[in-house]
Structure 1
Amino acid sequence: MAGPPGEGLFSAAAIHVDWNARQVTCPRGAKSSSWAASTEFGWETVKVKLSQSDCKPCPNRADRAGQSASRRLMTLRDRREFEGLQTARKRERTPEFRAVYALRAGMEAAISQGERCFGLHRARYVGLAKTRLQHIAIAAAMNLMRIGNWLAGIPIAPT
């Protein structure tokens, strides 16, 4: 397989979808032989097949379709969702997005520590006031643990 998710020969970003002609073109230039609207798990989807005559001789067939498959079968979301997803994936590769996501990753690390070490997701008490007090106590315990680690010279784990 090539590159990280969303990039390379075998990802959705590598195929060209012509929604008006109802046709998909793979990275090697093969065009789809079948296009059918469908519904899967309540989502509007499109089922696309490439022809066996195009896929069988392809040296990357096993990587794209699987060891035993004779051709590539794809399920795409409807046009609006597919294009929105591709736009979001492009945005994820920008430096601006990574800077904002770094803040989120730091917060998620704190929440994860609260869950793993202090049982943050499990309310031990009934009622909003007692649950709030539990969360404040967990936050204080996390701060004390971090101060103790800092005094002991234990480095902060990278997020």
Structure 2
Amino acid sequence: MQRFKVLMLAVLALVVLASCTTSSCVTTVTINTPDTFDCPTAFSDVQGCVITTDIQTKYKGMNVVPNTGMIEFSTDQTIEEVNTIYTDFLKAKADFAEVPVSDDMKKIATTYLGMADTDTIISYQTSVGVGFYVFLKTVDGRTNVAVISGALGCP
């Protein structure tokens, strides 16, 4: 239960409001990040936590709309444990639905996050295309986690 509370706070901390001009992509996203937004505490032995409020500044060319937020960290929990925590949490959110992992998400994973095709991506979106995307890979016995809260850019 504590894990879900912490994850709920993390999602609420990155409140994403979107407006669409077409049905195929989101063109603007506003991220409100409270000053108290912190790295997750629901996972054991969190290390290297970095919060990025404008991904395009850090990862030039990543196909996300400006101001899409991201959090990156590692934990000693397994991919399966982390996957279950995020999946259960997102399934409980009525405004998010699981969507297939798109080619754009796979490109982000391999080009910018150093992932292999066999690594795990969790992809959930609202009806207007605003998403919560979780990228998981194992490095040196630890699970590296990258969470994008925002939207993919227009092609």
* Same-fold call, TM cutoff 0.5: no
Higher relative contact order (CA 8 A, sep 6+): 2
TM-score, normalised on structure 1? 0.25
The structure with the greater share of residues assigned to strand is 2
